[in-house]
Amino acid sequence: MQTVIIVIHLMVVVALIGVVLLQRSDGGALGIGGGGGFMTGRGQANALTRATAILAAIFFLTSLTLTILANINRAPKSIFDGVPPAGQTSAPAQPGQTPSGQTGSGSLLDQLQQLEQQKSQQQGGQPAPPPAPAAPEPPQSQ
């Protein structure tokens, strides 16, 4: 069903583009394109205007139908679905704490190295080598 409506929708879009491009310009763009056109009579202009209106209405109908069909099987979702019950809320993290509740040593690099050490110890492997010592600070001139 949805595929048929998509095909109809695409045919309407192509026809709408064609009908709009066939219409005569009113010459409001600095005299560009205001000359004779494919259909110059008054009757043809009314026919193109009417065809544009009909194709636009069909375009809106197919758009709405496709939107409704896409949302039929989607379950309603609430912002409260992800909120835990009142008794199961955890305390907010304190500054300097990692998400697991441990206190961090400061920089992000240090925290990542600690996590890597913990993972290697949990896997039963050799503990990770200690991080390289920091470079000494240059002497400050007085």
Looking at the structure of the chain, the number of domains it has is 1
User: Does 55 fall in a domain?
Assistant: yes
Give the span between the Cα atoms of 52 and 95, in whole angstroms: 63
User: Does 25 fall in a domain?
Assistant: no
Per-residue tokens: 68: 């409704």
Give the span between the Cα atoms of 129 and 117, in whole angstroms: 8
pLDDT higher at 108 or 125: 108
Q: pLDDT by residue (tens digit) across 1-32?
A: 889 999 999 999 999 999 999 887 766 555 55
Q: Is the pLDDT of residue 135 over 60?
A: yes
User: Does 8 fall in a domain?
Assistant: yes
Residue span of the structural domain in which 55 resides: 1-20+45-72
pTM: 0.46
